[in-house]
Amino acid sequence: MTPLSWEHWSSHYSDRGYHVLAPAWPGLEAEPEQLRRDPAPLRNLSITDVVDHYDKIIRGLERPPIIIGHSFGGLFTQLLADRGLGAAAVALGTGAPKGVLRLPYSTIRAAWPALGNPANLKKEAPLTLKQFHWCFTNALSRDESDAVYQRYYIPGSARPFFQAGFANLNPKAVTKVDYRNAARPPLLLVTGTEDRICPPSVNKANFKKQRQAPTATEHREFPGRCHFPGQDGWEEVADFVFSWTTENSKSQVSSPA
């Protein structure tokens, strides 16, 4: 997905007077329809490329922001937090850093369109409407899922799947974090009970690793929610995230004007 998928969350926070930034991955600033027609910018895009891109944006801000990321963005959020960035961090339906060993069948199946063929490494990894519904919007009807697909979906970049999927076999994995890092900001890990990409078992395994840090760490499950962050009732999740991060922020988050 692109920043368009944050349209409701962004306006929800902006309406409270907060400054919201939702920058795209490098090279993915175009509309979803255009990126579906020409996915060339996705090819060979790496985790490090994306994390360094956000690192530069965050360091250019006047004060540390609350960082929120979804899916691979949740993994990027954890990597940015490991660099000591942010006043607080939230990973929604997140990919797991190196060291999280829990790997249920549903997570493997969701990643298989990319990982199933080593020749995909430097290519994009598309999903059909049916595959998207199974792994991303399984709590929605097929018609609802197809509408989400048409508005938000773009192919994935395959390289991050290989980097994350084989991280536990790679001593130099780019998804490695220091789970005892005292400089890491407060971290909230959120998933839905129906999430097939980041099911509760993965979220809990991730939490058990991350809670070794001395700063606040919490995980939360939301009943009936799938991987799609815009599923009806998203306001409950957004409001919980807002309350938790502002309460636990390691630095003063500016109040709205």
Q: Where are the domains positioned within the chain?
A: 3-248
The answer to whether 18 and 9 are in contact (CB under 8 A) is no
Q: Per-residue pLDDT tens for 234-256?
A: 999 999 999 999 999 975 454 44
Q: For the chain, where are the alpha helices, taking DSSP H only? A: 7-14, 32-37, 47-59, 72-82, 105-115, 129-135, 142-152, 158-165, 200-210, 234-248
Q: Per-residue pLDDT tens for 106-156?
A: 888 888 888 888 888 888 889 999 999 999 999 999 999 999 999 999 999
**Tokens, residue 153:** 């979906």
Long-range CB contacts (within 8 A, 24+) of 139-145: 139/192, 139/194, 139/224, 139/225, 139/226, 139/228, 139/231, 140/226, 140/228, 140/231
Average pLDDT value for the chain: 94
pLDDT value at residue 251 = 59
pLDDT value at residue 255 = 47
Which CATH number describes the domain made up of 3-248? 3.40.50.1820
Reading phi first (left if > 0) and then psi (alpha if -120 to 50, else beta), residue 67 is in beta
φ/ψ of residue 121, rounded to 5:
-45, -45
